[in-house]
């Protein structure tokens, strides 16, 4: 009963509200377990020195707010609120309802893609015009099912040094579609899949939609915890392991080459396949990080490689590609056809020519310089402004930082989201990246792709004030 003790504040807040808030915190922090019976009205009123009506009103308030349920003839029981479904919808609705003009009034740390202000409009316009002059109306018609052959050839030539064949490459409408069509082709109800913990929320949604059994393995600084990974492999027949090899979303962590080799060996030994989401690997700022994908190291045809051009180029141009093991090539191609038949022919041709003329390499070089400076600025400001409020690991690349709220703070990332939103700052709580959302309550992600240095400092100061106020 000691945990229910409460020193009432001498202010205008009624005692029943103070009691309900105290019990809510106990439930949220696991001091009161989900389904645990709360003290009887008489016992709690005696403990706190209040009348029975005060406890009755406190319990009624908990029921209204979804933190308690009353069972006739039995008593009142704690009920942990389902934060994932309600908050995920609220978070999504918040971003959807903000028009570009209104969004500009916020410090927007939710961005996951390169800013459109750096998109080479004039160059890309010139390339599109050249494609139309060259190909005429044919540029607007559907292409072969695998995608425009010229683009597939250039992907092989400029990104894979002609180590693939054109038939190895399947054009898709971004990484999200790639994950979706692979899941439809490979995964059935009750198949077992392993994901990183935390992981990309879009991938979690796809795997849940396939009604798979999802196992999570914690992320370390150089990739997943291999000890926990192998324990799961020994006890379960795993079909696939979904991972993000560079600057993982949300943690920003990157797999070491040695860990990649160990995981590839395990894939062969335990007979599972790796779905590699090659996320933002173009944006490496730390010279100690070497680029070498799982797919490039794959000697046993165990890796399904997915790459999006949208994140780094422009989200509106929904183009990516997928490389599948021979064993699954036909089923994945059929899954793509059943999804949308063909990705935009004009955009495929324009991107192909853009790559061929060397503009892609120039754009990435320019973008990398811009974001390396912004990354360093934000890293310095986080250490300067939030040094005693959070801890984090510097990812060495990518477009975001993943912060852990100090254990001394009484605020969780959902509370922080709402407080910051009211003050003109948008951030992404860690609950969105976990199978069991409560595990992400002490984390939040800050992306710097859409914010200037001035806004970075302003936003971090507001976050600091929100954490300080607690």
pLDDT on residue 301: 96
- Sequence-distant (≥ 6) Cβ neighbours of residue 303 within 8 angstroms: 264, 267, 273, 274, 276, 294, 295, 323, 325
- Asked if residues 169 and 155 have their Cβ atoms less than 8 Å apart, the reply is yes
When the candidates are 3.40.640.10, 3.40.50.300, 3.40.50.2300, 3.40.109.10, the CATH number that belongs to 121-357 is 3.40.640.10
d(CA 196, CA 223): 9
In tens, the pLDDT along 94-143 reads: 888 777 778 888 999 998 888 888 898 999 999 999 999 999 988 888 66
pLDDT on residue 469: 57
d(CA 24, CA 43): 18
In tens, the pLDDT along 278-333 reads: 999 999 999 999 999 999 999 999 999 999 998 888 777 889 999 999 999 999 99
* 83-111+362-468 CATH: 3.90.1150.10
Mean of all residue pLDDT scores within the chain: 91
Is the CATH code 2.60.40.650 the one for domain 2-78?
A: no
pLDDT on residue 103: 80
| % pLDDT > 70, the chain | 96
250 cis-preceded (ω within 30 degrees of 0) = yes
Res 10 pLDDT > 70: no
Beta partners for residue 403, in sequence order = 392, 444
Take residue 94 and report the two structure tokens written for it: 């918040």
| Range 46-80 burial, b when 16+ CB lie within 10 A, else e | eebebeeebbebbbebbeeeebbeeeeeeebebbb
DSSP percent split of the chain into helix, strand, coil, nearest 5: 50, 15, 35
Q: Is the pTM of this model over 0.85?
A: no
Beta partners for residue 242, in sequence order = 195, 275
> Can you give the residue ranges of every domain in the chain?
2-78, 83-111+362-468, 121-357
Res 86 pLDDT > 80: no
- Crossing angle of helices 121-135/359-385, nearest 10°? 150
In tens, the pLDDT along 34-84 reads: 888 999 999 999 889 899 999 999 999 888 877 888 887 889 999 876 555
**DSSP conformation class of 40:** P
pLDDT on residue 399: 96
Q: Per-residue confidence at 85, pLDDT binned at 50, 70, 90?
A: low
Res 470 pLDDT > 60: no
In tens, the pLDDT along 181-228 reads: 999 999 999 999 999 999 999 999 999 999 999 999 999 999 999 999
In tens, the pLDDT along 378-399 reads: 999 999 999 889 999 999 999 9
pLDDT on residue 372: 97
């Amino acid at each position: 009963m000691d945990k229910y003790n409460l020193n009432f504040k001498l202010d205008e807040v009624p005692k029943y509200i103070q009691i309900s808030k105290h019990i809510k915190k106990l439930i949220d922090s696991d001091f009161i377990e989900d389904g645990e019976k709360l003290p009887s009205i008489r016992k709690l009123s005696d403990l706190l020195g209040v009348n029975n009506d005060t406890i009755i009103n406190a319990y009624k308030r908990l029921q209204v707010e979804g933190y308690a349920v009353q069972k006739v003839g039995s008593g009142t029981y704690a009920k942990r609120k389902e934060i994932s479904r309600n908050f995920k919808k609220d978070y999504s609705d918040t971003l959807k309802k903000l028009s570009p003009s209104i969004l500009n009034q916020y410090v927007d740390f939710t961005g996951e893609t390169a800013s459109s202000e750096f998109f080479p409009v004039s160059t890309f316009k010139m390339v599109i015009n050249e494609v139309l002059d060259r190909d005429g109306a044919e540029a607007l018609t559907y292409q072969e099912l695998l995608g425009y052959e010229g683009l597939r050839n250039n992907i092989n030539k400029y990104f894979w040094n002609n180590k693939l064949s054109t038939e190895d490459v399947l054009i898709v409408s971004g990484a999200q579609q790639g994950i979706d069509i692979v899941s439809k082709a490979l995964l059935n109800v009750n198949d077992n899949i392993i994901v990183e913990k935390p992981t990309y929320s879009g991938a979690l949604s796809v795997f849940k939609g396939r009604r798979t059994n999802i196992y999570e393995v914690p992320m370390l600084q150089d990739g997943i915890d291999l000890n926990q990974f192998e324990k799961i492999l020994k006890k379960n027949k795993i079909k696939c392991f979904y991972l993000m090899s560079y600057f993982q979303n949300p943690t920003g962590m990157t797999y070491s080459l040695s860990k990649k080799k160990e995981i590839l060996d395990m894939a062969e030994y335990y007979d599972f396949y790796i779905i590699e989401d090659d996320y933002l690997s173009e944006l490496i700022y730390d010279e100690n990080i070497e680029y070498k994908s799982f797919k490039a190291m794959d000697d046993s045809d165990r890796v399904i490689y997915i790459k999006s051009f949208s994140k780094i180029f422009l989200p509106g141009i929904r183009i990516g590609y997928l490389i599948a093991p021979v064993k699954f090539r036909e089923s994945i191609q059929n899954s793509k056809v059943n999804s949308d038949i063909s990705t935009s022919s004009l955009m495929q041709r324009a991107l192909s020519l853009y790559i061929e003329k060397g503009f892609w390499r120039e754009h990435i070089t320019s973008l990398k310089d811009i974001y390396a400076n912004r990354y360093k600025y934000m890293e310095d400001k986080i250490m300067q402004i939030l040094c005693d409020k959070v801890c984090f690991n510097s990812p060495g690349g990518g477009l975001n930082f993943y912060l852990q709220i100090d254990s001394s703070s009484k605020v969780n990332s959902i509370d922080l989201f709402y407080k910051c939103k009211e003050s003109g700052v948008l951030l992404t709580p860690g609950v969105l990246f976990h199978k069991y959302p409560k595990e992400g309550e002490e984390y939040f992600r800050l992306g710097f792709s859409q914010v200037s240095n001035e806004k970075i400092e302003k936003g971090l100061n507001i976050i600091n004030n929100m954490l300080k106020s607690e």
